[in-house]
Structure 1
Amino acid sequence: MFKDIFLQAMEAMRFNGRRTTITIVGMAWGIATVVLLLAYGAGFGRAFEAIFAQWGTHMIGVFPGTTSEQAGGAKAGIKVRFKQDDVERIQETVPGILHVSPMLWKQVPVQNDLHTYTWEVDGVTPELSDIMNMQIDEGRFISAADMQQRNHVAVIGAEAKTKLFSGIFPLGQKIRINGINFEVIGVLKPKMQEGDDNINRVSYIPFPTMGDIKDTKYLDGIWMNYHGDHMAVERALRNQMGAAHGFRPTDKNAMWVANIMSQLAQFRIISLGLQALLLFIGVLTLGIAGIGLMNIMLVSVQQRTREIGVEKALGARKRHILFQFLAEALVITGVGGLGGILLAFAVSKVVGGITFYSAIATNASGADIYLLISPNIVIVATTVLVLVGIVSGMIPAIQAANLDPIEALRYE
């Protein structure tokens, strides 16, 4: 029975070829719009993920501030200072912590025989490489042996390499940091950099060696990575550091916390909102095509009124008529949907990447928007298409099924 109904639907479509073609084109355009809008929304979300992923999303930094709330008998306005003991405290008492690295930084002259610049130099431990997802382009990062022996070695950023050495092989070369000789042992791969941001000019040296440049008694900050819930880790951090330094855990000014996952979660909400909006716009566009399909099917019902009357007179039941017209609508929808999905894939290949973050940042092509059509997008678009096809075809089909056979036979 279903085969016969399908063949009848195909025959009716061939009989009204021009009208059917226009309707199919409308459905194809509608579903292509849905798929491309969803792909754009997904690409927007992936772009933000790529921006944060270059640092590592499960990363937290804490920085000393000044108390703004009274705690115990102490007044507000007391400066908080972090020490090396705090690194051990965090590692041992905060659940979920994987690696911890103290950090000291200072703007100092960095020079070789040809060039002199004033750049940031950071004193860190080997763990920072894992914490900040640092990718080595040449050489290696700071090692435990460098820490123990207080080696005068440096890992430099990609821009620092270019400015200091141009095309010269940098490994093994000597640079002077604040007048002290250091050997270049590694070069980092470039990170996305906005404007005059110095991220690719920073030089990293062993934390103990930083004592030759700056007093290491008090830390400028502590970076760590973790597993588990980011908010639970932050609460535990505030509780432990507050108890150790005599400030309230609720005092945001006493200790500044850079919780990367919290920031990413906010962007994810924005991304989901954008995808919902784009889906709504796409469904409206497809709905317009569905209205066109409904109108065409209503015209078809009117033109075939006598045919319907003959079928009913010969014993056709309501469900047979219903399925016949609904099948025709679904075949038009299916053909248009397949064509629209293929069109969307073709457009995504032709368009490629859409400039987004690279418009304001260098080395940021990975954070541009790419129209990558995932299976989930195809499933969502197909589901919407089927619903639109059923709704658009059902109303004319019900009208055809409910025609009175006697009145239908009289219809001119």
Structure 2
Amino acid sequence: MAILQSIKMALRSIKGNKLRSVLTMLGIIIGVSSVIVLVSIAQGSTTNVTSQINSLGTNLLTINTFGTNLSLTEDKINKLGKLSGIQALSPVVSGRISVKKDRTSSQTTLTGTNAAYESVRNTNVSNGRFLTDIDLEYRQKIAVLGATTAQNLFGTENPVGQYIQLNGNSFKVVGVLASKGSSMGQSGDDVVIVPLSTAERLVKTTSINQVYLQGKTGQNMDLVMAEVQNSMASMYPNQTDNYSVMNQQDLMSTMSSVSNTMTMMLGGIAGISLLVGGIGIMNIMLVSVSERTKEIGIRKAIGAKRRDILLQFLIESVVLSAMGGVIGILFGLGVGKILGSALNMTVTFSSSIVLFSFLFSLVVGVVFGVFPANKASKLNPIQALRYE
């Protein structure tokens, strides 16, 4: 009951000095809302980056060779495909080409590949179909358009079954890819995909300098990567500087580490404002002790113990910080949603962060309320009664 009574007294004191209480809580409100907003934006960015990396493909390894002297031949690619940890692979020939439909023309990225590209790169077709092995075998002049390319050339019209010009050659559109958005700063939708054998004629090269490989499982990609590296070393002895083997999971780990560091930094910066809010609470509570010195003297004179006075002022400090924490949570969630909608950002709210920021505000109330409460509890009752 003593604690409940102290809480009621604290609420009456806060109500009796509304403006001062609001200004005192303002630091806590800003601190809690800052922690929630900044950490939620950082977590949203982490989620967005993770999604972009995942959109590159599932269990993905990428081999890049540098220069035409080290291009991957069909025999070497087939040898890589027979490795025990590889489920599928997709060689790629790419370049910039001119694409034209009626009077609309533009420069876009050409990707020449095989039918396995759809699964290896986690690509979905929204309309029509993807490439098939027969298309490669017979060097068919067919094309699959990225979502942006299809929009630029055909608008709202269905491109499937229609013809476009690629570097002056007529190609039939057989499919349109689902939008993947931008990935690692590059758009995955402004592209034209054609059979590998056809692309080699378009870009006038047979050099394959990039191959995507899909592992059978995501559990042992480090072992699969080592297997691929050993195979490349045997095929190209003493030329390790002329090619690279990249693991998507390594990229994911690196980006996650960077994102976590940024989240901690932003949370720490926002936490500083909470500490500043705590200093504000301490200052106001010291003023409150001075103003209520005579009240403290009367309470001590009629039998209040030191711990009663200590508890009263400490609870008042905690109530102030708790009210500021609740308002800060509501304000932070609102600001986060507004920023997410206005700036088209991914904002990921976490219940653990909300709970942590609230508990931290309570800790701040306790820590910065101890000194004023202790000062009040040590007042001499006779001197306090004579205080003017």
* TM-score class, shorter: 0.7 to 0.9
Query: What secondary structure, in the 3-state scheme, does the structure 1 residue paired with 2:144 have?
Result: strand
Q: Distance in 2 between matches of 1:110 and 1:7?
A: 75
RMSD: 3.5
Who is 1:131 aligned against? 120
Q: Distance in 2 between matches of 1:170 and 1:314?
A: 90
Who is 2:259 aligned against? 271
* Aligned 1:129-168 pairs, distance under 5 A: 129-144=118-133, 146=135, 151-168=140-157
Q: Distance in 2 between matches of 1:404 and 1:255?
A: 81
**Contact 1:84 1:218 (C-alpha < 8 Å) held by counterparts:** no
Q: Residues 51-78 of structure 1: CA distance to partner in whole angstroms, max 9, x if unpaired?
A: 4344247433212236xxxxxxxxxxx9
Q: Distance in 1 between matches of 2:220 and 2:367?
A: 44
Deviation at 1:119, TM superposition (A): 5.2
Q: Distance in 1 between matches of 2:187 and 2:7?
A: 66
Who is 1:84 aligned against? 74
**Contact 1:147 1:207 (C-alpha < 8 Å) held by counterparts:** yes
CA 1:254–1:347 in 2, change beyond 3 Å: closer, same or farther? same
Deviation at 1:329, TM superposition (A): 0.9
Identify unmatched segments of 5+ residues in structure 1.
67-77, 356-367
Who is 1:393 aligned against? 369
CA 1:276–1:9 in 2, change beyond 3 Å: closer, same or farther? same
* Equivalent of 1:283 in 258, 264, 271: 271
Q: Distance in 1 between matches of 2:75 and 2:19?
A: 80
* Aligned 1:222-371 pairs, distance under 5 A: 222-226=211-215, 227-228=218-219, 232-247=223-238, 251=240, 253-353=241-341, 355=343, 368-371=344-347
**Contact 1:354 1:370 (C-alpha < 8 Å) held by counterparts:** no
* Equivalent of 1:380 in 356, 359, 369: 356
Q: Distance in 2 between matches of 1:198 and 1:337?
A: 42
Q: Residues 281-329 of structure 1: CA distance to partner in whole angstroms, max 9, x if unpaired?
A: 2122122221111111112222333333343344433333222211111
Q: Residues 206-263 of structure 1: CA distance to partner in whole angstroms, max 9, x if unpaired?
A: 3455576689975332102341366554443222211233236xx2x22133444444
Q: Distance in 2 between matches of 1:152 and 1:108?
A: 15
When normalised by structure 2's length, the TM-score is 0.83
Q: Residues 162-197 of structure 1: CA distance to partner in whole angstroms, max 9, x if unpaired?
A: 454455421112345567654311012344469x97
1:171 aligns with 2:160: yes
Query: What secondary structure, in the 3-state scheme, does the structure 2 residue paired with 1:205 have?
Result: strand
CA 1:169–1:13 in 2, change beyond 3 Å: closer, same or farther? closer
Query: What secondary structure, in the 3-state scheme, does the structure 2 residue paired with 1:137 have?
Result: strand
Identify unmatched segments of 5+ residues in structure 2.
none
CA 1:312–1:98 in 2, change beyond 3 Å: closer, same or farther? farther
Deviation at 1:88, TM superposition (A): 4.2
Q: Residues 135-167 of structure 1: CA distance to partner in whole angstroms, max 9, x if unpaired?
A: 323212123554566654321223433454455
Who is 1:24 aligned against? 25
Query: What secondary structure, in the 3-state scheme, does the structure 2 residue paired with 1:243 have?
Result: helix
Q: Residues 63-103 of structure 1: CA distance to partner in whole angstroms, max 9, x if unpaired?
A: 2236xxxxxxxxxxx943423344444344364x4432122
Q: Distance in 2 between matches of 1:176 and 1:12?
A: 79
Who is 2:45 aligned against? 44
Q: Distance in 1 between matches of 2:34 and 2:41?
A: 10
**Contact 2:27 2:273 (C-alpha < 8 Å) held by counterparts:** no
CA 1:230–1:298 in 2, change beyond 3 Å: closer, same or farther? farther
Amino acid at match of 1:301: V
How many residue pairs get aligned? The number is 384
CA 1:411–1:157 in 2, change beyond 3 Å: closer, same or farther? same
Deviation at 1:198, TM superposition (A): 8.0
* Equivalent of 1:219 in 208, 213, 221: 208
Amino acid at match of 1:34: V
Who is 2:4 aligned against? 3
Query: What secondary structure, in the 3-state scheme, does the structure 1 residue paired with 2:90 have?
Result: strand
Q: Distance in 2 between matches of 1:246 and 1:134?
A: 34
CA 1:218–1:25 in 2, change beyond 3 Å: closer, same or farther? closer
Q: Distance in 2 between matches of 1:279 and 1:57?
A: 32
Q: Distance in 1 between matches of 2:295 and 2:130?
A: 82
Q: Distance in 1 between matches of 2:125 and 2:138?
A: 22
